Structure 1
Amino acid sequence: MFHALSFKTIFFIELAIVWLISHSSLSDALQERHHLHHMITSMTKGHSFNFSHLGLCDDGKISHYCNEVEAWIRKILIVDDSTKAFADSHDYRDWYKYELYELSNCTDSQCSDHVLQRITGCKLDKLPDGSVNLTVFDEYGFDGEDLISFNYDTMQWIDKNPKAKETKKKWDRQTGYNQFLQSYLKTCTEWISTFNNTNKSSPDVHVSVSKSPDDESKLVLTCLATGFYPRDVQMNIRLNRIHLENQTSSGIRPNDDETFQMRISVKIDRNHEGSYDCLVTHSSLIEPVTVIWDRTCIDCEIWIVIAGVAVLVLVLVLVLALFGFFIFKRKRRNGRVRNSSSYGTVDDQIQMASSADEIRS
């Protein structure tokens, strides 16, 4: 879970970890899933102490602090922020520094390179039957190894490293954490709800068709929805408003601008005359979007054009060959006429030859 690497690369590693955790079931688009993560890294490097905090809500960055920049960047989405959906953890740098030094057995004047990391947050799942599952998690790592984590079911800390024995005893005695946990459950839900309601983007839907690579009688109809937020979306390709079976999906994938995209495809009969469309349902839409296939096939038309061009080139080659043949025949015939007119008739040529013999004698 945790990696003891350089301070500048730690953010990218943590982002990859969170992305993999939150997208472990991308193919299940019918289940609405949200998450809030806070990733905190404290690091000693010689005599220096570095601290950073990165907050994410459904993969969108909502907060960022790094003491190398000495600036707290926060995307404020709640006008009345009395709920404190997440704490300004940079105000607790001294606490993380103390815990890191205690685990490392070092002081300000003498300390080697060590890293203490924390990933905390909540996950919210809205199931198809309307029920909601909400869980929180809090995990710590030290020098690239799992250290200690909180078990929400037992309300106890679990030590995962011999160095966490004393930490577990100390933290288990802190009853205030349970109160914090209950408050966090409430504020986490409010924050996710607020973030998703204020950061919505409607999908841009496109329908296209291409030739089937393995069956000339089939076409592949593809529906692409992109630029939508939040990530949960439902898509279906239909024939005469009936959902088709055997649809394949790319799963929900992130775009560079913190929005998402999804692509579904299905093979259809090339000669079927029914009406095909793509139906997309998303929370940003007042009503579902339907895009109808206009019966065009760019891939198919390209091959028709290529075939037409090939036939045209062949015709031109044949015409040029015939034209060249007639010219050649004409030149040969003209050459014979010129030779005959230059030397006269056969009798003239015999007479010219006799005169030449008389002159030589």
Structure 2
Amino acid sequence: MFLCFVFIFLLFYLSDAQQEKHSLHFKFTALSKADNFPEFSAGAVADDRQIKHYSNEERDWILTEDDWISAPEEPPDSRDWFLHQLNTLSNCTDSQCSELHVLQRMIGCELEKLPDGTVSLRAFDEYGFDGEDFMAFDSDTLQWIDKNPKAKETKMHWDLQTVRNELLHHYLKTCMNWISTFNYTQKNSPDVRVFARRAPDDHSKLVLICLTTGFYPRDIEMNIRLNRINIERQTSSGIRPNDDEAFQMRSSVEIDSKDKGSFDCLVIHSSLTEPVSVEWDGACFDCETEFLWFVIAGAAVLVLVLVLAVICYCIYKRKKSNDHTYVCDDGGERNII
């Protein structure tokens, strides 16, 4: 029974490690009454890395990463078209708007390859207005789906734009064809470190931390284990970006400082041929510092005691010396023998 459990456990994690995910997202944002921000911004992100951005100065798309020479074309709608839609929805003129409104769009495609060879493809074109879902394009029916009562009028108008809808359908199909042959092989292996520090509220406990950084692509599995079994109630930072476009993640759990079990951190990532396990060596990050402060405090007390002892001895010697002298009639002093 136990061997069966171990087999299922390993199969589950190895399957996650062999999953392959790719995505291409074009993101657009337009602001009315944009005093301190650009009224229009756009960028293309593939596998969590920006590969293109729109330059308002040059009124053109600029390739951000030089190695993305095969990056797909941007969607057919222009900057001016997007700003016009914002003004229409906001009831603003082209030159003046009394209130702040935000129109957002994300269009692209995603691919997921499962260990059994199954491939899942998804293409989408979605809009948001003032922080709420607004519209989504159905590429099969070439119709728009209103996701907000405010979008009904816009849906009716966009459904009649058959030429534009045909162009969107062709673009999304091209996106799925491109991502199906996508083979961006850059992968960075994670750097895994395991360490501990004293729990802030209870010094009889430790906080055991697993820090994984520098990995790419984004998806990763990591768990702190005791005797090769996952510990429950772990706290995770979630996956966060680094400055170099790689990623990091931190997990932690509170443990008893007297626990003698074997702790390790298990990490599974697509850049690794097999899962990596890093054991905790028992070191505590700030425990030695606390011990050092005890030593320093003890030494300071000892020095203070010695100084006080020397001062008391000097006072005693001086007092004893004064007790063995007397004043003569001629004004001089004589020692008592």
TM category (shorter chain) comes to: 0.7 to 0.9
Deviation digits for residues 222-244 of structure 1 (CA, Å, limit 9, x no counterpart) = 01001111111111222333333
Please name the residue that 1:302 is paired with: 289
Measure, in 1, the Cα distance between the counterparts of 2:32 and 2:237: 42
Larger mean CA deviation between 201-210 and 34-43 belongs to 34-43
Counterpart selection for 1:313 from 300, 314, 318:
300
**Which amino acid is 2:49 matched to?**
G
Within 5 Å, which residues of 2 pair with 1:1-361? 34-40=22-28, 53-69=42-58, 72-74=61-63, 75=65, 77=67, 81=70, 86-89=72-75, 97=80, 111-112=94-95, 118-125=105-112, 133-140=120-127, 148-152=135-139, 155-159=142-146, 160-171=151-162, 174-175=165-166, 177-191=168-182, 194-195=183-184, 197-198=185-186, 200-339=187-326, 342=332
Q: Is the 8 A contact 1:156 1:172 kept in 2?
A: no
Unaligned runs of 5+ in 2: 1-15, 34-38
Measure, in 1, the Cα distance between the counterparts of 2:131 and 2:205: 52
Q: Is the 8 A contact 1:54 1:65 kept in 2?
A: yes
**Which amino acid is 1:64 matched to?**
H
Deviation digits for residues 133-174 of structure 1 (CA, Å, limit 9, x no counterpart) = 432221346899876430357552135252453222123885
Measure, in 1, the Cα distance between the counterparts of 2:120 and 2:267: 25
Deviation digits for residues 286-329 of structure 1 (CA, Å, limit 9, x no counterpart) = 33333222221121111111111111111111111111111101
Q: Is the 8 A contact 1:44 1:111 kept in 2?
A: no
Q: Is the 8 A contact 1:51 1:66 kept in 2?
A: no
Measure, in 2, the Cα distance between the counterparts of 1:103 and 1:215: 55
**Which amino acid is 1:203 matched to?**
P
Measure, in 1, the Cα distance between the counterparts of 2:261 and 2:103: 61
Query: What fraction of aligned residue pairs are identical, expressed as a percent?
Result: 43
Q: Is the 8 A contact 1:148 1:168 kept in 2?
A: no
Q: 1:224 to 1:150 in 2, by over 3 A?
A: same
CA RMSD of aligned residues (A): 3.8
| Secondary structure of 1:285 counterpart | coil
Q: 1:296 to 1:177 in 2, by over 3 A?
A: closer
Measure, in 1, the Cα distance between the counterparts of 2:254 and 2:32: 57
Which is greater in Rg? Answer: 1
| Secondary structure of 1:277 counterpart | strand
Deviation at 1:274, TM superposition (A): 3.2
Q: Is the 8 A contact 2:268 2:276 kept in 1?
A: yes
Q: What TM-score, normalized to structure 2?
A: 0.72
Please name the residue that 2:7 is paired with: none
Deviation at 1:266, TM superposition (A): 1.8
Deviation at 1:204, TM superposition (A): 1.6
Measure, in 1, the Cα distance between the counterparts of 2:305 and 2:130: 78
Unaligned runs of 5+ in 1: 1-28, 347-361
Measure, in 2, the Cα distance between the counterparts of 1:172 and 1:292: 61
Deviation at 1:267, TM superposition (A): 2.2
**Which amino acid is 1:328 matched to?**
I
Q: How many equivalent residue pairs?
A: 299
Larger mean CA deviation between 35-44 and 290-299 belongs to 35-44
Q: Is the 8 A contact 2:55 2:62 kept in 1?
A: no
Measure, in 2, the Cα distance between the counterparts of 1:103 and 1:316: 75
Q: 1:34 to 1:256 in 2, by over 3 A?
A: same
Larger mean CA deviation between 220-229 and 50-59 belongs to 50-59
**Which amino acid is 1:37 matched to?**
H
Q: 1:319 to 1:267 in 2, by over 3 A?
A: same
**Which amino acid is 1:165 matched to?**
M
Measure, in 2, the Cα distance between the counterparts of 1:169 and 1:260: 44
**Which amino acid is 1:302 matched to?**
T
| Secondary structure of 2:324 counterpart | helix
Larger mean CA deviation between 167-176 and 181-190 belongs to 167-176
Measure, in 2, the Cα distance between the counterparts of 1:126 and 1:217: 46
**Which amino acid is 1:38 matched to?**
F
**Which amino acid is 2:54 matched to?**
Y
Q: What TM-score, normalized to structure 1?
A: 0.68
Measure, in 2, the Cα distance between the counterparts of 1:37 and 1:345: 102
**Which amino acid is 1:167 matched to?**
W
**Which amino acid is 1:190 matched to?**
T
**Which amino acid is 2:44 matched to?**
G
Deviation at 1:186, TM superposition (A): 2.5
Q: Which has the higher helix share?
A: 1
Measure, in 2, the Cα distance between the counterparts of 1:190 and 1:340: 113
